[in-house]
Structure 1
Amino acid sequence: MESYTCSDFPVYHTAFDSYEWLTKHADPLFHRHVAVAGIWGLLALHLADESILPFDYLTYVEQLQRHTGCLSKLLDRSISLHPIVNSIQELASAARGVEYEIKQLREQESRGDHVDLKLRALNDRLMLAERGFLDVEGLQGRQWFKHLIYGPPSDYESKLEFFPGIADALSQSTRKSQQNRQAAIQHEVWRVARAIERAAGALQGNLT
């Protein structure tokens, strides 16, 4: 078979990757695969040994605030980001409450108190909060992508590496009228805000 190089076979985000290309060019000795498997293995061990899942939603809040600041620079004043800002504040309040609860449970655990059920309930909330960022309908035209905070935009030249639904609305809005453009973007803003509200609600114990 004739040999080829990476430039001859552009595999970036395609369905044409082959075992031959992988073993010849991408990772011949599978060093990268071993490294990634080791990282995931250590993460699994870490999660298994922790009595409380190490999910830091205050850091998540900081990231969301930075993302919102970046997004505001790309939008005109006709698009309101207040729904996202308000939902982030709600998530921040819930995250601070969880941090205090974790501190209390750690102290009770160190005293030998029976807190197994409380720990289980807290871990359920921490886990379900992340699921709150998922939307059952998925991204418009790409329903298999459910996460409204992080995901690949449909336009790989997009300036947004977060809020994929908003990124798609921005890139697709050039073909719409001004009114329809604003409506499409604002709709995605509301979807993100509701996702953040769901996460905040889960942290607060509203699991329905």
Structure 2
Amino acid sequence: MDLGIDFPVYHTAYDTYEWMAKRGDPTFQRHVAAAGIWGLLALRLADDLVLPFNYTSYANELQGYVDVLSNLLSGSISLYPLFSSVQALHSVAKDVQTEARDLKEQETERELQALRMRGLNDRLMLAERGFLDADGLQGRRWFKHLVYGPHGDYRSKLGFFPGVADAMMSAESRGAKERGNEEGNALIQHEIWRASRAIQRAANALRGDVFSQ
């Protein structure tokens, strides 16, 4: 969510109530607004017949992230796995979007329609789980999401693909990119493959294929 303004304080997980009451949000109006937004989202999720998950938009965002990486990484590192998996997700997401629209407009037996909606909702829900990896991030196994998550190095400005971001910072700290260090590039490539497999799992789940964690 973009509030349209920049916040001068660098984010932290250690803000105290005293700091928030005096500096961060003295009136707590932003907290109330954020709680209201989350409440509306919860109602939307609970009331819609079909979960309002737009994986087409998700795929477009992922493509943007891959484009950013293509400008940051050397040509010796292949982004084809990410391009391929994002394309697969985008393709199946368009089909699911059409399926959801048609299902809402169909005049079929209520019981049959309910079963089809249940199946579609299950796929929409399971697709997000596809982005999780049982092994988690390198050195921080408790973080399982391979698309979004906190980066391990505060200097990293990438807000996506945390495993790739960590590998890039690790390589940079050793001067790997400048020297064309094979070990550093191999680590980055490994994380790219992990992220691409996660995206492919999401695409498979959205299609209705079974995936394993």
1:36 to partner: Cα distance: 1.0
RMSD: 1.9
Match of 1:200 among 185, 203, 206: 203
Q: d(CA) in 2 for partners of 1:200 and 1:18?
A: 40
Q: Secondary structure at the match of 1:73?
A: helix
Pair 1:92-2:95 in alignment = no
User: Share of identical aligned residues, percent?
Assistant: 55
Unmatched 5+ residue regions in structure 1? Answer: 1-6
Given that residues 133 and 147 in structure 1 are in contact (C-alpha distance below 8 angstroms), is that contact kept between their aligned partners in structure 2?
Answer: yes
- Aligned equivalent of 1:186: 189
Q: d(CA) in 1 for partners of 2:156 and 2:57?
A: 25
Match of 1:21 among 19, 41, 45: 19
Given that residues 94 and 200 in structure 1 are in contact (C-alpha distance below 8 angstroms), is that contact kept between their aligned partners in structure 2?
Answer: yes
Letter in 2 for 1:82: Y
- Aligned equivalent of 1:39: 37
Unmatched 5+ residue regions in structure 2? Answer: 1-7
Q: d(CA) in 1 for partners of 2:97 and 2:34?
A: 30
Superposed counterparts of 1:47-196, under 5 Å: 47-108=45-106, 111=107, 113-114=109-110, 115-174=113-172, 175=174, 178-196=181-199
Alignment deviations for residues 103-148 of structure 1 (CA, whole Å, 9 cap, x no partner):
220111xx25321111111011001101111111111112222111
Change (3 A) 1:46 1:73: same
- Aligned equivalent of 2:3: none
Q: d(CA) in 2 for partners of 1:37 and 1:171?
A: 35
Which TM-score applies when normalising by structure 1?
Answer: 0.87
Structure 1 stretches of 4+ with a deviation exceeding 3 A read none
- Aligned equivalent of 1:3: none
Which TM-score applies when normalising by structure 2?
Answer: 0.86
Change (3 A) 1:11 1:169: closer
Which stretch shifts more, 62-71 or 152-161? 152-161
Count residues in correspondence: 197
Which stretch shifts more, 127-136 or 172-181? 172-181
Alignment deviations for residues 3-27 of structure 1 (CA, whole Å, 9 cap, x no partner):
xxxx9xx884253x33322222222
Q: d(CA) in 2 for partners of 1:25 and 1:70?
A: 34
1:176 to partner: Cα distance: 6.9
Which structure has the greater CA radius of gyration?
1
Which stretch shifts more, 138-147 or 171-180? 171-180
Change (3 A) 1:155 1:102: same
Given that residues 148 and 192 in structure 1 are in contact (C-alpha distance below 8 angstroms), is that contact kept between their aligned partners in structure 2?
Answer: yes
